[in-house]
Amino acid sequence: MLQETTVSCLNSICSIGSSASYPQEPMSTNTEIKTDGAEDSLEEQGAMAAGPSSAGQKGTSAKPVWTLLEEAAQMKTEGNAFYREKNLRSAIGCYHRSLLVLRGLDADVMASLKGFAPEKPPLTFEQEALLRNTQVDCYNNLAACLLQKQNVDYTRVLEYSLRVLQWQPGNVKAMYRAGVATLEIGDAQRAKQYLSQACKELPNDANVRKHLQRAEEKLNQELQRERDMYRGMFSSSPKSST
């Protein structure tokens, strides 16, 4: 099946972490990844995997900013460990917990809650950088987790990848995953744009080039269908009498 082929090709590029390169995926393409048979939404998976720690979120507002940032980074690290163990459910839970902590520190989120939540002092440059880097890693890693599932939610993969690109427009992993997701959703033109950008950064990456070729082939097929349709319309039109 096309979807299975796509997921198999993704194994070498869906790495966890903030590195710009694509280290070899530690899992085999023939290895079944542990998901506990769950088909819940990611929010439900995150809440279930978070466990009792989620109850402690009520007290996070009283903690120092650096403490919260470090806790979020630690949750991300724990998620990476679960991912390497092929435990996607727990990995997803850790990434969601990390993002939940960071949500209360995000200036963009707090601005939307102005008047409804107590105002907090702005983050320092270093704090803002750590917050964004952790958010980027978590969303990238969530997309990687989804791409390892048997039934891939490409709409959600695209959503998470676009969040990364909002903060880091040049993030190659997010560009690649956005391209794969849009291609599977059916938007070959948009997929070609993402994959072309990714190919500029990784011109020798076989997976990027392969999916870019798929997007170009699909566009050519769509163009040929349009030509055939118009050719058929004109050839079947009645000739004018003389």
pLDDT of residue 82: 98
- Between 107 and 135, the more confident residue is 135
**CA dist., res. 189 & res. 214, Å (int):** 11
Q: How many domains does the chain have?
A: 2
Whether residue 39 lies inside any domain: the answer is yes
In a domain, 141, yes or no: yes
Residue 163 lies inside a defined structural domain of this protein: no
Q: Please check whether residue 172 is in contact with residue 20, taking contact to mean a CB–CB distance below 8 angstroms.
A: yes
pTM over 0.75: no
Whether the pLDDT of residue 5 is over 60: the answer is no
Same domain, 95 and 59: yes
Is 111 in the same domain as 60? yes
Q: Looking at per-residue confidence, does 133 or 12 come out higher?
A: 133
Same domain, 133 and 198: no
Domain limits for position 97: 2-152
- Rounded to whole angstroms, how far apart are CA atoms 10 and 211? 10
The percent of residues in the chain predicted with pLDDT above 90, rounded, is: 57
Of 152, 184, 206, the one marking the end of a domain is 152
